[in-house]
A and B are shown apart, each in its own frame.
Chain A
Amino acid sequence: TQLLEQSPQFLSIQEGENLTVYCNSSSVFSSLQWYRQEPGEGPVLLVTVVTGGEVKKLKRLTFQFGDARKDSSLHITAAQTGDTGLYLCAGAGDAGNMLTFGGGTRLMVKP
């Protein structure tokens, strides 16, 4: 069974601060996705990373896939209150059809 551990589980910061969320596993994934979920809604895809060492930027969000494709990080620069939500990482195995989700990081950005 492939497991993904996210840290921290909870994070409360002030608007304007930077933060990093980590997603770690002992397993190798063919690709890794990051989702954001708001209360009362389903998760929405932010990014997919496929190549070891890959870095993708989405405005103030920077995503990195580890060289060994076992871990990933999400860095947010100058957080805004609109960034509040549950951030989930999800890894796809070799078959590519199923996702294993991490436990999530619940982010609260205070004004």
Chain B
Amino acid sequence: DAGVIQSPRHEVTEMGQEVTLRCKPISGHDYLFWYRQTMMRGLELLIYFNNNVPIDDSGMPEDRFSAKMPNASFSTLKIQPSEPRDSAVYFCASSLAPLSSYNEQFFGPGTRLTVL
């Protein structure tokens, strides 16, 4: 398996533009997570899905952020409009089952977003 795939790896955009980050989880994994990592705040959970259904989006910073999972093999995280403070590395991760069952989260390589 190729692991979790994220695209693009790097994105540079201007303030006010729409940004769409993409993720393909590992086949067969029921859980998909979106994280944001910055030096100041570390790794923060934004939202997670179970069987394509959003379960907890309490980490989504504001209405400018939205996430979808139209099918088991694809998810998007959209920021509209983007702001400079959104600059961060965004990670997608997937897992086979609830973490209490010793299952690990497999992380993608991340998308480094820079908003000018």
Contacts and interface: CB of A to CB of B under 8 A. Distances in A.
Q: Is the A/B pair a real complex? A: yes
Interface of A: 30-31, 33, 40-45, 48, 50, 88, 92, 94-104
Contacts of B93: 42
Interface string B81-99: 0000000000101000011
B100 A41 contact: no
Contacts of A92: 99-100
Contact of A42 (B31, B42, B50, B91): B91
Nearest to B108: A42
A31 B91 contact: no
A103 to B, nearest CB: 4
B21 to A, nearest CB: 14
B18 interface: no
Given A41-B109, A42-B107, A45-B105, A96 B91 contact: no
Given A42-B108, A43-B43, A101-B42, 7 more contacts: A40-B109, A42-B93, A97-B98, A98-B45, A100-B45, A101-B44, A102-B42
A59 to B, nearest CB: 18
Interface of B: 4, 31, 42-45, 48, 50, 55-56, 91, 93, 98-102, 104-105, 107-110
6 contacts: A31-B102, A40-B110, A43-B107, A96-B99, A97-B98, A97-B99
Interface of A is mostly: loop
Given A42-B91, A43-B43, A97 B110 contact: no
Given A97-B98, A97-B99, A99-B99, A88 B104 contact: no
A48 B102 contact: yes
Nearest to A48: B102
Q: Which 4 A-B pairs have the closest CB atoms?
A: A96-B100, A42-B107, A45-B104, A96-B98
Contacts of A41: 107, 109-110
B46 to A, nearest CB: 11
A101 B43 contact: yes
Contacts of B101: 96
Contacts of B4: 42
B43 to A, nearest CB: 4
